[in-house]
Structure 1
Amino acid sequence: MKIGYPCVNESLDCSSGATFRLASYSAERVETTVAGNLACLQRILEYNVAHGLRFFRIGSSIVPFGSHPINTFAWRTRFAAGFQALGDYIRAENMRVSFHPDQFVVLNSPNADIVQRSIAELEYQGAMLDLMGLDSTAKLQIHIGGLYGDRDAALARFIATYRTLPEAVRRRLVIENDDRLFSLQDCLRVHEAVGIPILFDNFHHECLHHGEPMAEALRLAAATWHPARDGVMMMDYSSQQPGERKGKHAATLEEELFRGFLGHLHGLDVDIMLEIKDKEASACRAISVLHELQLVAAEATAAR
């Protein structure tokens, strides 16, 4: 079991997602910005290893405008060695990484231009994992998309588009149940059609479900992951922020709620991404809880 957090480390003085405005695009700015982003990403990974955090969601903006037609800079060639070095470090430290493309990636849109831009974004982010030399257990996480007034048609469009994707994207793609439109059961329909793994979100399941108990839902999702091709199931964990609208993520880890959730696993191995506002601070507390419950080896928490 691995614990992680997404994109931003608030303890460090750098960002791996620095970018600039489209109007100020230049090859020189791309080169300088990517170099800085990769250097910061290395620092984040080293911080995570030192704190026993071996799961990390990399931000989508490592390469500014990476999927935009304006970006003609040969960043894949220029930074091939840098990406490879990151991949070597990730493998050597038994880490796992992923990407979660932004909400504008909508494979089931009725608009063909949106679909094509979405595919280009997935190809860009998948290319970074390929450059790192990481296998297909490093994933690209997306939602099914929009409902557009017809659930069956929306699911059918996603399935049809998925079948047209390049293999380099398909082997990394996973879908997440969401909190308003597409439940675990909807994701299972897509899985049954094309075999895509389901990244389970416990909080979204609490907001939108069909009566499945948490332990059952976890096992249904885990069964969609092929042990060799996909690795152990990835999942997102959060809880409701008290006093806020339904679906608002917690600002910090509620340790008793987290312990209660872990009780639903019943020995199931999962890699848990904490979608908690205070990022690595909560992730470090979660590692302490796992150690307390003997769900992670003591050496995994030792600073190096």
Structure 2
Amino acid sequence: MTIIRLGYVAMSMELTNSSPSQTMTFKQFQKLSDREAGIRKLERIAKSNLENCLRLLKHNKGNDISFFRFSSRLIPLANHEALESWNYLSPLQKELKVLGDFAKKERMRVDFHPDHFVLLNTPNNETLKASTKTLAMHVRLLEGMGIDATHRCVLHVGGGYNDKEKALERFIHNWMYTPKGIQDTVMLENDDTTFTMLDTLYLCEKLGVPLVFDYHHHLACHNDEDWEKDWARVVSTWDVSPLPLKMHISSPKNKKEYRSHSDYIDSEMFFAFLNGVRDSTPQIDCMIEAKQKDKALFQLMEEVKKRNDIEVVNRSTFKLK
């Protein structure tokens, strides 16, 4: 049997006043007459975001959810060039430790998906430096939580820059100049416009990086529709990881807006994927990327429970018979 564990992204649709992504723009910061008072305000916002993350993890525990993606916007303006002297982690040590201790105690898998502007295959050196700096911030956040950063950040390959083959080779070139501590935290995901599952597999196998298979992205962008014949290769990329294989699941909003995410998950579409991976690996952690977040997870589990080809483990996990 294969265990399927469901997770969701960043925030809850069930909890009120629990956003982990409260922010302050640099324009707002500039309007403050006292720079130090502005920094203290940024720190208060960051503390509130981390406290809300803890609320979310407690909500997840109450609903048997042990797989969760943190928001990458926990600390507003953390990497802004005008605030380079700000030691943003120092005042957050307590909140980070409490968050990490809870996640470890409850054996929760947590990770990040840095924003689309993190590009390791960019031809622009300044963009590469900024991308590396952003990834380093994610590593430091995980270290502050006391969580092993290995394979905790999902990235897309990046831009095609009008020459996909050259862009793939540039990723490899830039990777060689990426610090080992950042390399260790990266997982790569196939995208919905440029880099297919096979393109991403090429990099993952060459660099020893796990592949996070996004089934919706594959349906929107592929050279070969038959993903199943290469599934064993995807599974093998996780041999380097201490974590179970991870994939993303979402459903198209509609035929016209096929690449956009729907509010909920089409369970038949999901099981079209699952039927192809039965017994291929002991466990698959499936991150739900749906507009309705935890509500989408709860609805999907209600539909899953009606099936006779699964065995329910708890409110977020089931086994494929």
Q: TM-score, normalised by structure 2?
A: 0.87
Q: Does 1:118 align with 2:131?
A: yes
Where does residue 2 of structure 1 map in the other structure?
5
Q: How far apart, CA to CA, are the structure 2 residues paired with 1:181 and 1:133?
A: 36
* Of 119-128 and 62-71, the range deviating more from structure 2: 62-71
The answer as to whether partners of 1:51 and 1:284 remain within 8 angstroms in 2 is no
Match of residue 222, structure 1, among 235, 238, 246:
235
Distance 1:289 1:138 in 2: 31
After superposition, the CA RMSD in angstroms is 2.0
Q: Secondary structure at the match of 1:152?
A: helix
Any conservation in 2 of the 1:53–1:284 contact (CA below 8 Å)? no
Structure 1 residue 66 displacement after superposition: 1.7
2:46 to 14, 30, 34: 34
Match of 1:69 among 76, 81, 101: 81
Q: Is the 8 A contact 2:24 2:77 kept in 1?
A: no
- Correspondence for 1:156 among 138, 154, 169: 169
Query: In the superposition, relative to structure 1, how do residues 186 and 300 fare at CA in structure 2: closer, same or farther (>3 Å)?
Result: closer
Structure 1 residue 285 and structure 2 residue 299: aligned?
yes
Report the 3-state secondary structure (helix = DSSP H, G, I; strand = E; otherwise coil) of the residue aligned with 1:3. strand
Task: Pick from 295, 298, 302 the counterpart of residue 314 of structure 2.
Answer: 298
Residue 59 of structure 1: aligned partner: 71
Residue ranges of structure 1 left out of the alignment (5+ in a row): none
Deviation at 1:217, TM superposition (A): 4.2
Give the letter for the 2:57 counterpart.
Answer: L
1:56/1:4 CA distance change after superposition, 3 Å: same
Question: Do the aligned partners of residues 163 and 295 (structure 1) sit closer, same or farther apart at CA in structure 2, a change above 3 Å counting?
Answer: farther
**Mapped partners of 2:47, 2:238: distance in 1:** 35
Name the CA distance, whole Å, in 1 between partners of 2:262 and 2:226: 22
Q: Is the 8 A contact 2:238 2:245 kept in 1?
A: yes
| 2:50 matches 1:50 | no
Aligned twin of 1:83: 96
Q: How far 1:76 moved relative to its partner?
A: 1.7
C-alpha distance after superposition, 1:14-73 (max 9, x if no partner): 210100110333211111101100110001111112112211111111011122223333
Q: Residue in 1 aligned with 2:211? A: 198
- DSSP-derived class of the 1:75 partner: coil
Cα deviation, residue 3, structure 1: 1.0
1:276 paired residue number? 290
Look up the equivalent residue of 2:128 and give its one-letter code: V
Structure-2 change in CA distance of 1:29 and 1:181 (3 Å): same
Cα distance in 2 for residues equivalent to 1:244 and 1:264: 27
Percent of aligned positions that are identical: 28
Structure 1 residue 230: deviation in Å? 4.0
Q: How does 1:176-195 map to 2 (within 5 A)?
A: 176-195=189-208
- Whether the 8 Å contact between 2:261 and 2:289 is mirrored in structure 1 is yes
Partner of 2:213: helix, strand, or coil? strand
Rg: which structure is higher? 2
The equivalent of 1:166 in structure 2 is 179
**What is the CA deviation profile of residues 236-272 of structure 1, one whole-angstrom value per residue up to 9, with x for unaligned ones?**
1012223432312222122232233322221232111
Instruction: Tell me the residue number matched to 2:26.
Output: 22
Q: Shift of the alpha carbon at 1:111?
A: 1.1
TM-score norm. by structure 1 comes to 0.91
Query: Cα gap change, 1:78/1:138 in structure 2, threshold over 3 Å: closer, same or farther?
Result: farther
Q: Which amino acid aligns with 2:113?
A: H
| Structure 2, gaps ≥5 residues long | 30-37
8 A Cα contact 2:122 2:158, kept in partner: yes
CA contact (8 A) 2:190 2:197 kept: yes
